[in-house]
Amino acid sequence: MTEKIELTDGYKINRVINGCWQLSEGHTIKNDLDFGDVMRAFHMLTERGFTTFDCGDIYTGVEEFLGKFVLELKNGSGVSPADIQIHTKYVPDLDMLDKVDFQYTEKIIDRSLKRLNRDVLDMVQFHWWDYDVPGCVETAGYLCRLKEKGKIRNISVTNFDTAHLAELVDAGIPVVTSQTQYSVFDRRPEKGYLDYLKQHHIPMLCYGTLSGGFLAERWIGKKMEEPETRSQVKYMQVIEDSLGWDGYQQLLLILKEIADKYGVGISQVASRYILSQEGVGAAIIGVRNSRHVEANMGIFSFELSEEDIQRIRSFLKQYPTVEGEPFQQERTVGSKYRSIMWMNLSEEE
């Protein structure tokens, strides 16, 4: 069982999107990926209706891997390539921002088309690393020209703040969704960004919903350990600046009690909680093996009651959330959040 939403005329996506950053080179600190099993997971997911994928031009090796999956679908007899949706990103390198023009943008979009084995990109999510470098609105305009040329179906953004998204919207860029970090304990979007999206009918596609796997039973009662993936490095920082490890452990126990009532797991409650927030279109959940396919299906098997949601909210009220708007800390020069970001991956071959 799945839930879908229609974003634009006839364009439907699953409310749980298969996230593919986990498959990029350097994401797994232990280097323990089995790509055969990942391919198996992709087939299992799409056969069960989880047909929407999230990747990026800067996720090294991932567009190519999804391109191979598209070819397997083309040559198979089940789900067809037309039945899946692949959302990629356009993230010009920090060092390139002052040089970005239409030709450069088209070159990157053509590269994504080629890598993905697609005739049109279902969605391109645009990111601009540094608002102090002019050209953000103009570059979004280049994507509109490429949409007119038939190379892109939907234009979206990722990691924008309210003021700069408003600049795009006011300039007439048809922003379809916004991809933003949002989880039970990373509540930065609730400070105003989500309200702006709701007012402008732009659904939020959320990442970090499982906080790199931290929102799962296997962490109950555990001490803070060395992170296994780049996601965990990222979300460990959020835990430090919100609940702290002790508060996080208490949250796990609350989520577990709620999960037990419905016969599901913590990850499903954490996902359902985010999906139940008004303005949220979908949660993007990272896939790096076939282990969690059935658990992901369980997300749609129940609804949280208002009492469950209020219980989680009133627990969280005792704790701070990370300072600033979504991605503000990640942009701030000198902040620990920025220090772990890789900002020049697009041109890397």
Ligand X SMILES: NC(=O)c1ccc[n+]([C@@H]2O[C@H](COP(=O)([O-])OP(=O)(O)OC[C@H]3O[C@@H](n4cnc5c(N)ncnc54)[C@H](OP(=O)(O)O)[C@@H]3O)[C@@H](O)[C@H]2O)c1
Q: Which of 277, 289, 328, 335 binds ligand X (CB under 6 A)?
A: 289
Report DSSP state, residue 290: S
Q: Does 19 bind ligand X (CB under 6 A)?
A: yes
Return the range that interacts with ligand X (CB under 6 A); candidates 13-21, 146-154, 170-178, 302-310: 13-21
CB of 61 to ligand X, least distance (A): 13
Q: Does 175 bind ligand X (CB under 6 A)?
A: no
- Residue whose tokens read 């959040």: 337
Q: Which of 67, 189, 203, 208 binds ligand X (CB under 6 A)?
A: 208
| Residue least distant from ligand X (Cβ) | 19
Q: Which of 207, 219, 248, 337 binds ligand X (CB under 6 A)?
A: 207
Q: CB-wise, 216 or 345, nearer to ligand X?
A: 216
Count, residues near ligand X per rule CB under 6 A: 27
Report DSSP state, residue 61: T
CB of 314 to ligand X, least distance (A): 24
Beta-strand runs (E) in the chain: 4-8, 11-14, 16-19, 52-54, 85-90, 121-126, 152-158, 175-181, 204-207, 280-286
Q: CB-wise, 159 or 346, nearer to ligand X?
A: 159
| C-alpha–C-alpha distance, residues 135 and 141, integer Å | 10
Q: Which of 60, 156, 267, 329 binds ligand X (CB under 6 A)?
A: 267
Q: Which of 67, 213, 279, 326 binds ligand X (CB under 6 A)?
A: 213
Q: Which residues of 150-160 are buried (b: 16+ CB within 10 A; e: fewer)?
A: ebbbbbbbbbb
| Token digits of residue 224 | 């803070």
User: Pick from 145, 49, 59: which is nearest to 101 by CA?
Assistant: 145
Q: Which of 20, 152, 252, 259 binds ligand X (CB under 6 A)?
A: 20
Q: Does 277 bind ligand X (CB under 6 A)?
A: no
Q: CB-wise, 20 or 204, nearer to ligand X?
A: 20
Check: CB of residue 279 under 8 Å from CB of residue 194. Answer: yes
Q: Does 288 bind ligand X (CB under 6 A)?
A: yes
| Token digits of residue 159 | 């990691």
Q: Does 188 bind ligand X (CB under 6 A)?
A: no
Check: CB of residue 160 under 8 Å from CB of residue 297. Answer: no
User: What residues numbered 75-104 form the site for ligand X, per CB under 6 A?
Assistant: none
Check: CB of residue 57 under 8 Å from CB of residue 108. Answer: yes
Q: CB-wise, 102 or 233, nearer to ligand X?
A: 233
- Residue whose tokens read 């179906």: 153
| Token digits of residue 246 | 């002790």
Q: Does 285 bind ligand X (CB under 6 A)?
A: yes
Phi, psi of 8, deg, nearest 5: -135, 175
Q: Does 52 bind ligand X (CB under 6 A)?
A: no
Phi, psi of 167, deg, nearest 5: -60, -45
Return the range that interacts with ligand X (CB under 6 A); candidates 1-9, 17-25, 34-42, 332-340: 17-25
CB of 192 to ligand X, least distance (A): 19
Report DSSP state, residue 38: H
User: Pick from 62, 129, 72, 135: which is nearest to 100 by CA?
Assistant: 135
Q: Which of 52, 159, 290, 329 binds ligand X (CB under 6 A)?
A: 159
- According to DSSP, the β-strands at 175-181 and 11-14 are unpaired
Return the range that interacts with ligand X (CB under 6 A); candidates 6-14, 69-77, 116-124, 212-220: 212-220
CB of 310 to ligand X, least distance (A): 24
How far apart are the two ends of the chain, measured CA to CA in Å?
39
Q: Which of 284, 297, 322, 345 binds ligand X (CB under 6 A)?
A: 284
What does the binding site for ligand X look like in residue numbers (CB under 6 A)? 19-22, 54, 158-159, 179, 207-213, 216, 231, 267, 284-286, 288-289, 291-292, 295-296
